[in-house]
Amino acid sequence: MNKKAKILLGIIAGTIGIFALSYVVLCLILMQQLSSPVLATVPSPTDTKNAVLLLEDGFVDRGISLLVKSPSVNAGYPQRITPLDWNRLYSFTQLNWSQDGHLAVFSIRLAGDDQQEVTAFGFDFSTGNAILPPWQGQNTTSQKTAEEWKQHAESITLLAEQHGGLMTPGFARENFRDQSKELWIWQAP
């Protein structure tokens, strides 16, 4: 093989390599733009080893999910608890910590004409238990009335009182983008 043929072969191989690398990079960028997960970490005010992770992800149906991170839960790895936005039936509005920093409480806004706000979810870091509506996961969420949500909220309010009440102000949804960071798709917990 003469020198010109080797040079030509090297140019062709290099061009194919550049195109292959460009294709991979473009695929990663496209996946990132279609998914584009966003993560906000809200540590406990009294124990920074305990933290709430609010993950916004999805494509068409973007929503915020609740994850928790604590040495006593899942060996310190983030654990997904529940979606805080659900099929346009309710959406996350605010997170409040208890005075002792061991209870995170989440308020949602119910869909409908009056769009009532209720305390609907919680996570007790002292016991490692999630406080979810009893009907969660039964595909009956859409059938629940505002009164049923309010009855469930009372149990969370009682638990918050046992932890010294709630701190104010909380972490509002409006602050989510200001206190979050975009992740690459493979970084999402």
| pLDDT tens readout for residues 17-75 | 899 898 888 877 776 566 567 778 888 999 889 999 888 877 667 788 899 999 888 88
* Residues 25 and 2 occupy one common structural domain: yes
For the entire predicted model, the pTM comes to 0.76
* Residues 85 and 28 occupy one common structural domain: no
CA distances from 141 to 88, 92, 111, 137, 187 (A): 11, 15, 12, 8, 31
* Residues 49 and 22 occupy one common structural domain: no
Task: Tell me the per-residue pLDDT of 102-135, one tens digit each, with 9 for 90 and over.
Answer: 999 999 998 877 788 899 999 999 999 999 988 8
* Residues 89 and 165 occupy one common structural domain: yes
* Residues 30 and 44 occupy one common structural domain: no
CB 7 within 8 A of CB 1: no
Tell me which residue range forms the domain holding 20. 1-35
Total Cβ atoms within 10 A of residue 99: 15
Structurally, the chain folds into a number of domains equal to 2
